[in-house]
Structure 1
Amino acid sequence: MFHFHVLPATISENQATVVWEKPTAIFNVAAYQIQLDNDCIAVLPANKTHFTVQHLHANTTYRLTLYCLSDEGERFDHDEATCSLTTMSPTEWIDVTRAPYLIDPTGATIATHLLQQAIDECSLGGTVLIPKEANILSGAIQLKSHMTLQIDGCLTASQNPDDFRFFDQKMYDGICNEDGLPLSRYEGWELYCYRSLINIGYIDPSDRQRIVCNNVRICGTGTINGGGNQLGMAMREIYANKEKFPQYVSDQQAGRRARGRLISTMQAKNIHMTGLKLINPPSWTIHMIYSDTIVSHGLTILSKGIDNGDGWDPDSSRNLWLFDTEFDTGDDCVAIKSGKNPEGNIIHLPTKGVHIFDLNIRGGHGIAIGSEQSGGVEDVYISDCVIKNTFYGIELKAQNERGGYIKNIHIRDCSIDRFMAHPVTYNADGQPAHDLPVISDIFLTNVTITGDGRVIELIGFSNKTNHDVNPVENVHLDMINVIATKETADMLLTYCRKIHLRKINVLKEETLITSIEKQDIESVASEPMSIYL
């Protein structure tokens, strides 16, 4: 028996998405079969552990069964799992290009107020639709609980930064400053930023764990275009002289952290994003702050050439799902965060329960955990991802003064550029934490690393002033195939403890060069230790 369940945030009146964990009791699963009530509706390869059931009837209960299949297509006895779902009732649809809103579908006229009016007037559970062929030009919009924004055409960001302030400050009294900018979080600090193009929720500093917005879906077959560097630079230039926290600008680029994002969720729960192409954010693409249960899948995220063009950034959030998504970004494709010292340590809200699988990452910096992780990051599961042509592959990182922790990280059945768990020297704002960061309990299983030079780097944290050391600890590398693209590949270990190596193979042009069958390294002192593979 294994875990097979519907993601509640994905249930609509006609479809829902199911996910499951790979069974650990059987190792030769060749495929999965999904049955809806009594009918077989899908047979999926072994590296696909998700499926969206479509063409369902509204307000109807269904039973789903998942079977594991052998190479011969036979079901394994007693290895099946079931779940049920009930679809939503039919709801109101609002086409914003029709009366009474009559938004210009050519994108020639700014439509922020009319689009926001349609959202505000949408009935409980209703859908606001941007239809195919329509290009809607807008500034920041605020979604509300129990609604869907469906974009089958294009939502395009205005190039005017003033369109990303609150235009009705009385309505949002207490959550924005005198310039109409809301409280947000950027690179680990809470500060006032321009609004994102799409906003869900807001930050309540008196209770950051209170959910202020829930049950929102952003979906469709269209595109969201965030305005790119042109909008981002305009935001920076205007706000540079009004920098509220100049002591936090370690990069000496005033106004850089005042930019909005493409989509922001703040203190929100049960948010579903699917089907869309997300391009040209003014900085990060999707940023989730103090949020719970966010499901993102079936997306294409493109931000090549964007300054800080991150793709998907959970920040002190929990129960997060990202799968079936393609990335080509101008920075980290995924960046898992939880605040910066000392604020992240004080707020102390970790990011935990992150499930990432079936990604195609074809450019950018790769998957990062940190460097803003002062509130802690734990329970991250990454599987069946292809990560190519990135700078860092999968990187666990923290600044030496950051504090916090990264622990219980599982990486399985992936193809990556390299793997690193180490300190970084940049982005060192704020008062140092009392303790060094901790990175521990890391598990890599059946991972292929393609590259040359240093393909694995494990370096712990040290304080030269008082000689404290926090080693990278309890790392398990099991069934790792290193495909060397040049002459050599190596692993660097410094300040490590309890490093377990099992079946590490190095190949060049499909020929086995060397192999480590089993090696346990109990401790590595301050002098670097290189293992030439």
Structure 2
Amino acid sequence: MSYTRRLLVPGALLGALCLALPGLANAAGAAPTGLRVPALAVDDHSAVLVWQKPADYATVVDYRVFLNGKAIGTARDNAARFSPAAPYVKAFYGAYKGDRQVKIDQHSFTADGLKPDTEYSFSVRALHADGSLSAPSKPVKLRTTPPSPRCDITAHGAVGDGKTLNTSAIQDTITACPAGGTVFVPKGVFKSGALFLKSNLTLEVSEGATLLGSERAEDYPVSMGYTLYTYSTTQRPPSLINALDRSRRTAGAFRNIRIVGKGTIDGNGWKRAPQASLKDEVGAEIPQYVFGTNSTYKNLGILAATQVNQAVAEGLPLGAAYSQRRSSLMTLRGVHNLYVAGINIVNPAFHGIMVLESEQVAVNGVQIKTWDANNADGIEFGNSEHVMVFNSFFDTGDDCVNFAAGTGEEAAKQEPQRDAWIFNNYMRRGHGTVVIGSHTGAWIEDILAEDNVAHLTWIGLRAKSNNLNGGGGRHIVYRDNAHRDLQREGFIFTLEYSDVNLLLDYVPAKQSARFQDIKVLHNSLEFTPDWQPTPIPQGPKREMTVVDFKAVEVQGDIKSQAFHERITIDDLLLINTSSIKIDGLKEGVLRNIRFEDYAGKADPLSIKNAPDIKLENIQIPAPK
């Protein structure tokens, strides 16, 4: 039987997530709330809408969208057209007969075929299992943009032969393009070094186009790069795509930047694995990159190799050279209003998309394919606020979506990373789906991650830090997500994280990090009989079974008396999993947890150093 949904919104966040609508407590149910257009998610022919689920969504099966009072489609049908995650989600639920996983909602919609510079009014209604519709949401009015002036890079001499270095031609196009204009990359392979965007600009990489990073370190001048934090001591090189202002780091240094299109941005960081690609769950070819390290980068790296070699030749120690002198694919700092949509992201030398000290950010429908390039996170948000990621596909060499907020004592002077919404994504291989830390110094807070599907990632929700970084994560809700055949823990909160590439260039925090006021609500985790460790290209063979890791692990730092606090895990279905381990948690709650086909060999609950923990309605199986 299916695992039914029920309302599990935490009281502290109820006001923020679901607005009470008096007078609608009837059979139709309450309306969806918070209907809006994400930052810059409207152009001259289309607009993207997102909304929050109603307070009680137990019987909601879809949402119907209305344009000027007329129904124009449902969220699920629309996702099948516009979301690269949708076919994978469909395959996930169709893979096994009698699937018991949590079923996710779809709450976004792309309206296309609109007229330029025209006002429209949209509303949305929840569709229930019995066919009834809720009351309409509050409407949102928007105006499409006028047509954008197009600035084709080939008009400035760019050549798409995959060999010509086009840095100057593309940068000249960016400089010359008027405010509100679109820098257009047509079909072809355009090689380039570091590029620097400006405010009020769209970069469109069209279908069939590839923006290919140069393999030469000198095409990413370190003098034009950045330091990660104000207290960092090592300058990083710029990325392939940048928004960097050397005189200002905070939001507002840049405004209104869009990076869109169905083309590819390729960082040219690492060689392909011996098996260069494989067919995934929907029959699509997906690239595989070598697993490089600071001892193998010379043979396995492309841009990664030339950049580390250059840094070592300049006298930088190998550890610092490897951890600080590889380019990411994008570094976007200090942007107010940022929209990234549709793009294919592949093969960075370091990280994928880095969004630092920015606000009002939306990432929609991107495909990030970086497995198993070292440190190749999908998207990292650092000290930013009001961000969302939705409808996207991740197959990454590190964390899928990662949040960071500085390290050590100086981080207390920074703004926290706050207010994020992660929904309707498909997380494939990667080290974690939604990851809090390890840079937790200024706190990571107010995160809602819901209605995502994870398949083959190492971990689901991953909260990681240590006693050096300080701060932590708080006010996080992880709800209504489905997970299958993960490679390690289902959910982990740990203060024992260590990074082999760590550069300790900061003053350690006086107080250890910790995670508090976190709610993991209505999720499912399943390991199928076909489960096996995902091979790492060029990496060590992994000899593991399901019983080698925990379904849930909460690990404090008992030696330092650093306890996590008020972590609630409620309404969790565990199928063919191992046990739950708690060590270092105050005022925790484990409630409504059901084990089915328990795979462990020991007691499924291991709890110590957990004062005032509450255990309610846990169906405990006998060990095998």
What range describes the TM-score normalised by the shorter chain of this pair? 0.7 to 0.9
Say whether residues 1:288 and 2:348 are aligned partners.
Answer: no
1:336 corresponds to: 403
Distance 1:449 1:186 in 2: 37
Say whether residues 1:473 and 2:555 are aligned partners.
Answer: no
Match of 1:49 among 87, 94, 107: 107
Q: Sequence identity, in percent?
A: 26
Distance 1:221 1:187 in 2: 35
Distance 1:311 1:223 in 2: 14
1:192 corresponds to: 235
The aligned amino acid for 1:4 is L
Distance 1:500 1:201 in 2: 44
Alignment partner of 2:362: what SS? strand
The aligned amino acid for 1:227 is N
Say whether residues 1:459 and 2:555 are aligned partners.
Answer: yes
Match of 1:82 among 114, 118, 139: 139
Alignment partner of 1:211: what SS? coil
Distance 1:190 1:5 in 2: 41
1:231 corresponds to: 303
Alignment partner of 2:495: what SS? strand
Match of 2:495 among 423, 432, 444: 423
Distance 2:422 2:176 in 1: 35
Q: Is the 8 A contact 2:430 2:456 kept in 1?
A: yes
Distance 1:438 1:224 in 2: 37
Alignment partner of 1:434: what SS? coil
* Aligned CA distance change for structure 1 residues 85 and 228 (closer, same or farther; 3 Å): same
Distance 1:459 1:141 in 2: 43
Alignment partner of 2:439: what SS? coil
* Aligned CA distance change for structure 1 residues 89 and 292 (closer, same or farther; 3 Å): same
* Aligned CA distance change for structure 1 residues 372 and 509 (closer, same or farther; 3 Å): closer
1:443 corresponds to: 519
After TM superposition, give the deviation of residue 460 of structure 1 in Å.
2.0
Structure having the higher helix fraction is 2
2:369 corresponds to: 302
Q: Gaps spanning 5+ residues in structure 1: where?
A: 166-178, 525-530
Q: Gaps spanning 5+ residues in structure 2: where?
A: 1-30, 77-103, 271-301, 528-545, 614-619
Distance 1:103 1:400 in 2: 50
After TM superposition, give the deviation of residue 210 of structure 1 in Å.
4.8
Distance 1:400 1:509 in 2: 34
The aligned amino acid for 2:120 is Y
The aligned amino acid for 2:352 is T
Alignment partner of 1:185: what SS? coil
After TM superposition, give the deviation of residue 21 of structure 1 in Å.
0.9
The aligned amino acid for 1:50 is S
Say whether residues 1:500 and 2:613 are aligned partners.
Answer: no
Distance 1:343 1:302 in 2: 34
The aligned amino acid for 2:265 is I
After the TM superposition, which parts of structure 1 deviate over 6 Å for at least 4 consecutive aligned residues?
none
Distance 2:401 2:345 in 1: 14
Alignment partner of 2:321: what SS? coil
After TM superposition, give the deviation of residue 461 of structure 1 in Å.
2.8
Distance 1:338 1:241 in 2: 32
Alignment partner of 1:124: what SS? coil
Aligned residues: 489
Q: Is the 8 A contact 2:461 2:478 kept in 1?
A: no
Distance 1:282 1:506 in 2: 41
Deviation digits for residues 75-117 of structure 1, max 9, x if unmatched? 12x35332111111222112222x3x23212222111101111
Distance 1:148 1:27 in 2: 40
Distance 1:351 1:231 in 2: 30
Distance 1:495 1:187 in 2: 33
Alignment partner of 2:162: what SS? coil
* Aligned CA distance change for structure 1 residues 288 and 330 (closer, same or farther; 3 Å): same
Deviation digits for residues 333-372 of structure 1, max 9, x if unmatched? 1221011113323x32210011111111110201321011
After TM superposition, give the deviation of residue 136 of structure 1 in Å.
0.9
* Aligned CA distance change for structure 1 residues 201 and 282 (closer, same or farther; 3 Å): same
* Aligned CA distance change for structure 1 residues 359 and 125 (closer, same or farther; 3 Å): same
Say whether residues 1:24 and 2:55 are aligned partners.
Answer: yes
Alignment partner of 2:48: what SS? strand
Q: Is the 8 A contact 2:39 2:338 kept in 1?
A: no
Q: Is the 8 A contact 1:69 1:75 kept in 2?
A: yes
Q: Is the 8 A contact 2:35 2:137 kept in 1?
A: no
- TM-score w.r.t. structure 2 length? 0.74
After TM superposition, give the deviation of residue 315 of structure 1 in Å.
0.8
Distance 1:184 1:484 in 2: 45
Distance 1:188 1:424 in 2: 24
- Residue pairs, 1:363-442, within 5 angstroms: 363-367=429-433, 368-416=435-483, 417=486, 418-427=490-499, 429=504, 430-442=506-518
Say whether residues 1:116 and 2:157 are aligned partners.
Answer: no
Match of 1:212 among 253, 273, 290: 253
Alignment partner of 2:457: what SS? coil
Say whether residues 1:126 and 2:169 are aligned partners.
Answer: no
2:98 corresponds to: none
1:34 corresponds to: 65
* Aligned CA distance change for structure 1 residues 154 and 188 (closer, same or farther; 3 Å): farther
399-408 vs 369-378, which moves further: 399-408
- TM-score w.r.t. structure 1 length? 0.86
Distance 2:266 2:310 in 1: 22
After TM superposition, give the deviation of residue 239 of structure 1 in Å.
1.1
1:491 corresponds to: 580
Q: Is the 8 A contact 2:251 2:333 kept in 1?
A: no
Alignment partner of 1:399: what SS? coil
Q: Is the 8 A contact 2:453 2:482 kept in 1?
A: yes
Alignment partner of 2:588: what SS? strand
After TM superposition, give the deviation of residue 425 of structure 1 in Å.
4.2
Q: Is the 8 A contact 2:479 2:521 kept in 1?
A: yes
* Aligned CA distance change for structure 1 residues 425 and 127 (closer, same or farther; 3 Å): closer
Q: Is the 8 A contact 1:288 1:315 kept in 2?
A: yes
Say whether residues 1:142 and 2:142 are aligned partners.
Answer: no
2:90 corresponds to: none
* Aligned CA distance change for structure 1 residues 443 and 42 (closer, same or farther; 3 Å): same
Deviation digits for residues 371-393 of structure 1, max 9, x if unmatched? 11111100111111111212222
Alignment partner of 1:424: what SS? coil
Deviation digits for residues 159-196 of structure 1, max 9, x if unmatched? 1111112xxxxxxxxxxxxx524223189946311111
Report the RMSD for the aligned CA atoms in angstroms: 2.5
Alignment partner of 2:311: what SS? helix
After TM superposition, give the deviation of residue 235 of structure 1 in Å.
0.8
Distance 1:342 1:258 in 2: 24
Alignment partner of 2:441: what SS? coil
Structure having the higher strand fraction is 1
Distance 1:75 1:213 in 2: 42
* Aligned CA distance change for structure 1 residues 425 and 275 (closer, same or farther; 3 Å): closer
Structure having greater relative contact order (Cα 8 Å, sep ≥ 6): 2
Alignment partner of 1:232: what SS? helix
Distance 1:201 1:17 in 2: 27
Q: Is the 8 A contact 2:261 2:341 kept in 1?
A: yes
After TM superposition, give the deviation of residue 9 of structure 1 in Å.
1.9
Alignment partner of 2:175: what SS? helix
Distance 1:79 1:92 in 2: 37
After TM superposition, give the deviation of residue 256 of structure 1 in Å.
2.7
After TM superposition, give the deviation of residue 240 of structure 1 in Å.
2.4
* Aligned CA distance change for structure 1 residues 272 and 226 (closer, same or farther; 3 Å): same
Alignment partner of 1:119: what SS? helix
* Aligned CA distance change for structure 1 residues 256 and 354 (closer, same or farther; 3 Å): same
Say whether residues 1:162 and 2:218 are aligned partners.
Answer: yes
2:95 corresponds to: none
Alignment partner of 1:154: what SS? strand
195-204 vs 225-234, which moves further: 195-204
Distance 2:39 2:492 in 1: 34
- Residue pairs, 1:503-514, within 5 angstroms: 503-508=592-597
Alignment partner of 1:480: what SS? strand
1:175 corresponds to: none
Distance 1:224 1:48 in 2: 27
* Aligned CA distance change for structure 1 residues 316 and 407 (closer, same or farther; 3 Å): same
Alignment partner of 1:184: what SS? coil
Distance 1:26 1:286 in 2: 33
- Residue pairs, 1:256-295, within 5 angstroms: 256-295=323-362
Alignment partner of 2:60: what SS? coil
The aligned amino acid for 2:303 is L
The aligned amino acid for 1:200 is A
